[in-house]
Structure 1
Amino acid sequence: MSRRNPLRAAGVAGTALPPLAAGDARADTRAAVERAAGTPAAATYDPQQRFIQVVGGGNGVLYGIRADGALVWYRHSDWQALKTGWASGSGRIIGNGFHQFLNVFGSADGSLYCLRADGTLRRYRYVCSDLETGAGSWADASGVQIGSGFHRYPRLFGFTGYVYGVTADGDVYAYRFNPATGTWTDAYGTHVGNVITFNGALATDSAASTILRNVFALALRDG
């Protein structure tokens, strides 16, 4: 029997402050606003172990999230040939405040889906105008809350608008966000299978196995 997730989409209400690039003149004003809103204060980072998350963005792009909240852009320019070349702009700081998110996953269109501790999911989109330098800007709708209640999942992952949540008992629920319309598809929260994990050992039923293979194939296709 098909099971439906009790969560409901949150629409586009509850916009968050979009990230600011390093040196932006608005940073002081933003910091005051964030303190008033209760946004976590920026932390320092260990230069030897500076990234708390590394997120794939497709086409060789990687986003590193530092412990102090900085979002750092990299691009492996020779990813298709499996060589070691990197874009000259790799290491460019393109935003801040991302240490507040428990989990971040990316998309080939520059979207970043960010999970907060309160279960809300927000979408940002970095429009890169130069894949060599990493220069670009944030889309106007960056930081919009697109969902809530996702903290019910001990594991949450996805790519290119596909989101999969795994409950404590192994049930897998699928979501798909359409960036073109800014809405979730009708299949929001559909139960698609079961994944049982004990001490790192993974067993899947056939339905979940097919879904997971499709997700990883999509991620590989998009880089």
Structure 2
Amino acid sequence: MKHLNNSSAAIAKVASYLLLLPYLIGFFSTAHAFQSSYATYTAFGDHNGDIYTIANDGKLRWFQHNDRMIGTNILANSQKARIVGDMTGLDDWSSNKIIPANDGVIYMIDNAGQLLWSRYDSKIPNNQQWANRSKITAIGNGWHNYQHVFSGGDGVIYAITTNGKMRWFRHTGWQDGSNKWVPGSGRQVSRGWQDTIKVFSSGDGVIYSIIKSGRLRWHKHIGRLTGADNWSNKGIHKTVGFNWQNFHQVFSTGDGVIYGTTANGTLVWHRHNGWLTGTDFWAPAPEANAGRVIAAGRTLH
């Protein structure tokens, strides 16, 4: 992977974003938290229980789902939204790939294929702020050539090519936005992902993929921190769910907690209790494989 040089043109482009956005963030997922034009909002989450949405007004909203392990309504117990940014200054933000990581780190791929970094500090109550004085940082280019890009946490980024090869990167500057990468970043660690329509991580090397038939598949990359081609179950996936193809967005906030959004914007919660081993064991829900509605319709708008 060729990384972005600190050219004056690139810096000027990034600076133009900053003039428009007081708290710019290009989050993440993806995996997968990419939003189509017909849906009501974009939703994505990190591995720390934070959920973000971008509605048609371009506002970036932050929610903390305090009861994510049991799946209560996301707005219960005064868990209200906080507006933390504004995406209206970006050209066609809905077409950008948003890649949430952990500890507030958010990556975004812009229309030029640049990989952008930002970090939102939500750990200090009533003192949420963006790192580096709200600046975003360009740390790579050529990322628009991948079919899927998602974070594995701790600076690990996976990218899947159009022919189904998975490449591994590790951004050692993930906490401060410095353009530092592990030598050998970009190496192939897997193949056979060409039928994947959605893919995301739940942390600790656990990766979920959804294929066209709607099967939810579980994978675990044991070599996620080193880039070794070392996978659980000899690299063979395990099917842990069905009928996932109709969700517009699917993302995880870690620990086997998985959210999906429907056509009308309803947010559905699932918890895969067998997330570390790949067993087909899920937390109880109102109906088998149905999940639990925790935000109806456009309530997160």
Q: Tell me which interval the TM-score lies in, with the shorter structure as reference length.
A: 0.5 to 0.7
Residue type of the partner of 2:121? S
Residue type of the partner of 1:185? S
In structure 1, the partner of 2:190 is 147
Q: 1:106 to 1:180 in 2, by over 3 A?
A: closer
1:92 Cα deviation (Å)? 0.7
Q: 1:199 to 1:140 in 2, by over 3 A?
A: closer
Secondary structure of 1:128's counterpart equals coil
Q: Whole-Å Cα distance in 2 between the matches of residues 111 and 180 of structure 1?
A: 7
Q: Whole-Å Cα distance in 1 between the matches of residues 236 and 127 of structure 2?
A: 40
The one of 232, 237, 261 equivalent to 1:185 is: 232
Residue type of the partner of 1:23? N
Report the aligned-residue RMSD: 3.2
Secondary structure of 2:2's counterpart equals coil
In structure 2, the partner of 1:43 is none
Q: Whole-Å Cα distance in 1 between the matches of residues 221 and 104 of structure 2?
A: 23
Secondary structure of 1:19's counterpart equals coil
CA contact (8 A) 1:71 1:93 kept: yes
Secondary structure of 2:144's counterpart equals helix
CA contact (8 A) 2:215 2:245 kept: no
In structure 2, the partner of 1:3 is none
The one of 102, 117, 121 equivalent to 1:77 is: 121
In structure 2, the partner of 1:60 is 104
User: How big is each residue's C-alpha offset from its partner over 1:18-49, in whole Å with a ceiling of 9 and x where there is no partner?
Assistant: 2313337xxxxxxxxxxxxxxxxxxxxx9432
1:164 Cα deviation (Å)? 1.4
Unmatched segments (≥5 aa) in structure 2? 8-88, 248-261, 263-267, 273-279, 284-288, 292-301
Q: 1:19 to 1:80 in 2, by over 3 A?
A: farther
Secondary structure of 1:170's counterpart equals coil
In structure 2, the partner of 1:217 is none
In structure 2, the partner of 1:195 is 242
Q: How many residues align?
A: 172
Q: 1:78 to 1:164 in 2, by over 3 A?
A: closer
Q: 1:47 to 1:170 in 2, by over 3 A?
A: closer
Residue type of the partner of 1:48? D
Alignment of 1:106 with 2:89, yes or no, is: no
1:203 Cα deviation (Å)? 11
Secondary structure of 1:122's counterpart equals strand
Residue type of the partner of 1:111? V
Q: TM-score, normalised by structure 2?
A: 0.49
Q: Whole-Å Cα distance in 1 between the matches of residues 182 and 128 of structure 2?
A: 30
1:128 Cα deviation (Å)? 1.3
In structure 2, the partner of 1:170 is 214
Q: Whole-Å Cα distance in 2 between the matches of residues 156 and 107 of structure 1?
A: 11
CA contact (8 A) 2:97 2:108 kept: yes
Q: 1:198 to 1:80 in 2, by over 3 A?
A: same
Q: TM-score, normalised by structure 1?
A: 0.65
Unmatched segments (≥5 aa) in structure 1? 1-17, 25-45, 214-223
Secondary structure of 1:88's counterpart equals helix
Q: Whole-Å Cα distance in 2 between the matches of residues 190 and 72 of structure 1?
A: 31
* Percentage of matched positions with identical amino acids: 21
CA contact (8 A) 2:219 2:237 kept: yes
Q: 1:126 to 1:19 in 2, by over 3 A?
A: farther
In structure 2, the partner of 1:219 is none
User: How big is each residue's C-alpha offset from its partner over 1:111-139, in whole Å with a ceiling of 9 and x where there is no partner?
Assistant: 1011111111111111017x4x5224111
Residue type of the partner of 1:60? G
1:199 Cα deviation (Å)? 4.8
1:83 Cα deviation (Å)? 4.4
Q: 1:167 to 1:48 in 2, by over 3 A?
A: closer
1:149 Cα deviation (Å)? 1.1
Q: Whole-Å Cα distance in 2 between the matches of residues 157 and 191 of structure 1?
A: 15
Secondary structure of 1:105's counterpart equals strand
Q: Whole-Å Cα distance in 2 between the matches of residues 143 and 84 of structure 1?
A: 33
User: How big is each residue's C-alpha offset from its partner over 1:149-192, in whole Å with a ceiling of 9 and x where there is no partner?
Assistant: 10122222224322212233332221111225611122533323
Residue type of the partner of 1:104? V
CA contact (8 A) 1:174 1:189 kept: no
